[in-house]
């Protein structure tokens, strides 16, 4: 199941980067206090002090009971403390404020999933999808719940739809235990082909590399490649390695590569056999870019917001590092750029909080990785 609570909580920036708040300021400007408390709660979550984080978020809510941003984090903290009933109450409170909040519906579904109430979980994610039909995570979770309810054809259809929104969901499904009922279906074999195709598209050209990136077994990988060759999507050639060894190499048919935009999307390109993708090297640059992006969003500056997104998308800048280290967030930024280009400033204003939360999440992960690198190098 995607989005379950075994997902690690990662650290945000240090509290000492926050401006000093005087007693006078806190009395005059309660909203400033809420921001301080919110950041403090995030930092406590990053340190896995969830009970303390709950207290801080509840303190913030005494100032502003209907603050959706704080409520969402409170629900998240309670969920990870296994306080399922209290988490549900929090998400219900969010939905009283905003009944169309897709994230609240999706997270409510995950709570029911943990309680093994799969029918109720399905009802919740259906509401998430009603609010946002492009919410790939909700479609993926719907597929999981349908599988657990033994509604196999419907599960497969929902899974395919989630993959149409985000192809990474195909790879996730390969090892997801919730799809045990679905894997025997012929339609799931097509999904395995999608996973193999995406791996080739990203520049993994040998069986060993494709097995490593897809989690498929060698036999299933070869079957998928053979089917793609028969369909005229992939071509097979050979490469000599050493004096006596010849290994098969798989590439997209040139016309197909041009059509699906492998080069245009700036994905990772060819890899040597057995090598892990290069770890991100420009974390500090990404961290600096995040501040500029958040300022642009906060100021509702469309031009600067869209311009700043190029840093995370363009492979010549930090795009490759984002793909390697923050693939989910990279995809979200690309979708946001498309929606901003399409819907304009109104979309920026309506989704301001959600966008800021996304970049705060990236900032937390960047900080955690920087700290890990420092620890490993000492």
- pLDDT tens column, 289-347: 888 898 889 888 999 999 999 888 887 788 777 877 787 788 789 888 888 888 888 88
| Tokens at 148, concatenated | 């657990």
**Which of 135-139, 170-174, 236-240: highest mean pLDDT?**
135-139
Structurally, the chain folds into a number of domains equal to: 2
* Residue after which a domain boundary falls, among 271, 292, 308: 271
- Residue 105 falls inside a structural domain: no
Considering the domain architecture, whether residues 251 and 307 belong to the same structural domain is answered as no
Considering the domain architecture, whether residues 262 and 292 belong to the same structural domain is answered as no
CA angle (202, 132, 318) in 5-degree steps? 35
Contact 199, 210 (CB under 8 A): yes
Mean pLDDT score of the chain: 80
- Tell me, what's the pLDDT at 270? 37
- Residue 12 falls inside a structural domain: no
Query: Considering all CA atoms of the chain, what is the largest pairwise distance in Å, rounded to the nearest integer?
Result: 79
- Tell me, what's the pLDDT at 261? 56
* Residue after which a domain boundary falls, among 225, 248, 271: 271
Cα gap 132→50, rounded to integer Å: 30
Cα gap 161→154, rounded to integer Å: 11
- Residue 167 falls inside a structural domain: no
- Tell me, what's the pLDDT at 240? 77
pTM: 0.59
pLDDT digits (tens, 9 = 90+) for 136-156: 899 999 999 999 999 999 999
Expressed as residue numbers, the domain containing 319 is: 283-372
Cα gap 104→88, rounded to integer Å: 9
Considering the domain architecture, whether residues 263 and 190 belong to the same structural domain is answered as yes
- Tell me, what's the pLDDT at 299? 85
Contact 196, 225 (CB under 8 A): yes
Cα gap 373→366, rounded to integer Å: 11
* Residue after which a domain boundary falls, among 247, 271, 295: 271
Given a cut of 70, whether residue 203 has pLDDT beyond it is: yes
Cα gap 41→58, rounded to integer Å: 10
CA distances for 267 relative to 256, 282, 313, angstroms = 15, 17, 10
Given a cut of 70, whether residue 222 has pLDDT beyond it is: yes
Contact 159, 182 (CB under 8 A): yes
- Tell me, what's the pLDDT at 123? 97
| Tokens at 179, concatenated | 């799809």
Considering the domain architecture, whether residues 307 and 246 belong to the same structural domain is answered as no
What's the mean pLDDT in 352-362?
Answer: 87
- Containing H/E element for 295? helix 283-298
Closest by CA to 173, choosing from 137, 133, 200, is 137
Given a cut of 70, whether residue 253 has pLDDT beyond it is: yes
- Tell me, what's the pLDDT at 114? 93
- Residue 116 falls inside a structural domain: no
- Residue 134 falls inside a structural domain: no
Phi, psi of 203 (to 5 degrees): 105, 15
- Tell me, what's the pLDDT at 323? 75
Cα gap 170→349, rounded to integer Å: 32
- Tell me, what's the pLDDT at 371? 62
- Residue 166 falls inside a structural domain: no
pLDDT: which is higher, 53 or 292: 53
pLDDT: which is higher, 145 or 378: 145
Considering the domain architecture, whether residues 245 and 301 belong to the same structural domain is answered as no
- Measured in residues, the chain has a length of 378
- Residue 168 falls inside a structural domain: no
What's the mean pLDDT in 82-102?
Answer: 94
Helix axes 152-165, 186-201, angle to 10 degrees: 20
- Residue 263 falls inside a structural domain: yes
CATH for 206: 1.10.10.10
- Confidence at 265, pLDDT banded by 50, 70, 90: very low
Given a cut of 70, whether residue 264 has pLDDT beyond it is: no
Considering the domain architecture, whether residues 287 and 259 belong to the same structural domain is answered as no
């Amino acid at each position: 199941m995607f989005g379950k609570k075994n997902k690690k909580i990662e650290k945000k920036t240090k509290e000492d980067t926050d401006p000093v708040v005087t007693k006078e300021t806190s009395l005059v400007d309660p909203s400033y206090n809420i921001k301080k408390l919110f950041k403090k709660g995030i930092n406590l979550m990053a340190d896995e002090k969830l009970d303390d984080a709950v207290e801080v978020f509840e303190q913030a809510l005494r100032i502003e009971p209907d603050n959706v941003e704080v409520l969402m984090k409170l629900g998240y903290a309670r969920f990870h403390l296994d306080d399922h009933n209290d988490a549900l109450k929090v998400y219900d409170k969010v939905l009283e404020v905003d009944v169309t909040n897709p994230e609240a519906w999706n997270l409510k579904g995950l709570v029911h999933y943990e309680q093994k109430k799969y029918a109720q979980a399905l009802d919740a994610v259906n509401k998430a999808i009603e609010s946002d039909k492009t919410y790939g995570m909700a479609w993926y979770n719907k597929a999981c719940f349908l599988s657990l309810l033994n509604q196999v054809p419907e599960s497969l259809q929902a899974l395919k739809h989630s993959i149409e929104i985000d192809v990474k969901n195909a790879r996730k499904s390969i090892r997801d235990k919730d799809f045990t009922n679905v894997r025997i279906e012929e339609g799931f074999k097509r999904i395995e082909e999608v996973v193999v195709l995406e791996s080739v598209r990203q520049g993994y050209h040998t069986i060993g590399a494709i097995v490593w990136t897809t989690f498929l077994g060698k036999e299933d990988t070869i079957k998928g490649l053979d089917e793609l060759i028969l369909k005229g999507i992939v071509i097979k050639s050979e490469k000599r390695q050493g004096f006596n060894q010849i290994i098969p190499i798989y590439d997209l048919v040139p016309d197909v590569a041009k059509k699906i935009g492998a080069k245009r999307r700036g994905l990772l390109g060819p890899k040597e056999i057995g090598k892990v993708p290069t770890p991100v090297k420009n974390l500090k640059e990404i961290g600096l870019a995040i501040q500029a992006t958040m300022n642009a969003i906060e100021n509702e500056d469309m031009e600067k917001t869209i311009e700043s997104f190029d840093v995370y998308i363009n492979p010549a800048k930090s795009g490759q590092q984002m793909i390697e280290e923050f693939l989910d967030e990279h995809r979200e930024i690309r979708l946001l750029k498309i929606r901003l280009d399409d819907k304009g400033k109104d979309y920026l204003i309506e989704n301001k909080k959600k966008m800021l939360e996304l970049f705060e999440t990236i900032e937390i992960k960047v900080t955690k990785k920087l700290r890990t690198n420092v620890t490993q190098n000492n």
